[in-house]
Structure 1
Amino acid sequence: MGDTGTGKNALSLHVLVADDDFFMQRLATILLNSLGHTGVVVDDGEKALAALAKRRFDLVLMDIMMPNMDGLQALASLRKQEQVNGRHQRVIMVTGHAEPTDRARLSAAGADGYVSKPLEIDALERELRRVMSWHPHE
């Protein structure tokens, strides 16, 4: 597997961005594009699950706090579906209320990774690399 950043041997990821904030949607897609990845945007957990039912994504970048169905509810539903279908969708959770215990709490909830808002390109790239190397690209 190549790097997840830009470059000759880069792995271009197709990422589902689930966030209800327009600014964060734009920021996430701009950062992903600058790293050589593509992004599709939805604004709540229900729409994220619907998008995942229709097509495959390499990774989901999911905000914790969204209307209708929040990110943790969507993650729990996704992990429950995976017990039936045998697949594993990589999910990086995103939160604006970063706490020291977030990584352990989100990992226990089934998240593969975690980044805090506001998104920063270096932190996002590090977490993308870590999560994609932890789970070999399928």
Structure 2
Amino acid sequence: MLIVDDNQAAAELLQELIALQDHQAVCAYTAQQALDLAAQPGARFCLAFIDLTLPDQPGAEVARQLRAQAQAQGRPLVLVAVSGYGPNDPAGRQAAPHVDHFLQKPIDFDALDRLLAATAAATA
């Protein structure tokens, strides 16, 4: 799993929560770092959590590029917008065509658990 958030503490907290569910995640703190990680040979993320307000690119653009990369490689990728913005806010509406789910900050742990379980079942 890939976590993209310029707030290092928030990204690492999400990484720890994911680890508690016996999953592994890698953190990227900029859009470019996330795209570089995803482009590495052998990188096969099945799930990406993307903050919508990154300093170097909008999260919606990162989601679009990650989706295009995954499709070019013929692999599934679930994209989750993680933000203080919801799907009806301007940033959320911009991201909506490119993401599969929204998690609003602060993250609802039960929603995260359901999302992780659903993704694990779909990719098993």
Regarding TM over 0.5, the answer is yes
What's the CA shift string for 1:63-84, capped at 9, x where partnerless? 1111112210111122333454
Please say if residues 96 and 117 of structure 1, whose CA atoms lie closer than 8 Å, have aligned partners that are also in contact.
Answer: yes
1-structure distance, mates of 2:50, 2:76 = 15
Map 1:1-138 onto structure 2 (within 5 A).
15-54=1-40, 55-99=43-87, 101=88, 105=93, 108-133=96-121, 136-137=122-123
Higher helix share: 2
Structure 2 stretches lacking a partner, 5+ long = none
Task: Using structure 2 for the length normalisation, give the TM-score.
Answer: 0.80
Q: CA deviation at 1:32?
A: 0.8
Please say if residues 60 and 95 of structure 2, whose CA atoms lie closer than 8 Å, have aligned partners that are also in contact.
Answer: no
Gap change, CA 1:48 and 1:39, over 3 Å in 2: same
Q: State the identity as a percent.
A: 29
1-structure distance, mates of 2:19, 2:55 = 26
The total of aligned residue pairs comes to 120
1-structure distance, mates of 2:78, 2:45 = 9
C-alpha RMSD over aligned residues: 2.4
- SS of the aligned residue for 1:115 comes to strand
Q: CA deviation at 1:105?
A: 3.9
1-structure distance, mates of 2:25, 2:119 = 17
2-structure distance, mates of 1:82, 1:31 = 25
What's the CA shift string for 1:106-126, capped at 9, x where partnerless? 774221222111123212111
Please say if residues 61 and 93 of structure 1, whose CA atoms lie closer than 8 Å, have aligned partners that are also in contact.
Answer: yes
Please say if residues 51 and 81 of structure 2, whose CA atoms lie closer than 8 Å, have aligned partners that are also in contact.
Answer: yes
Structure 1 stretches lacking a partner, 5+ long = 1-14
1-structure distance, mates of 2:7, 2:96 = 26
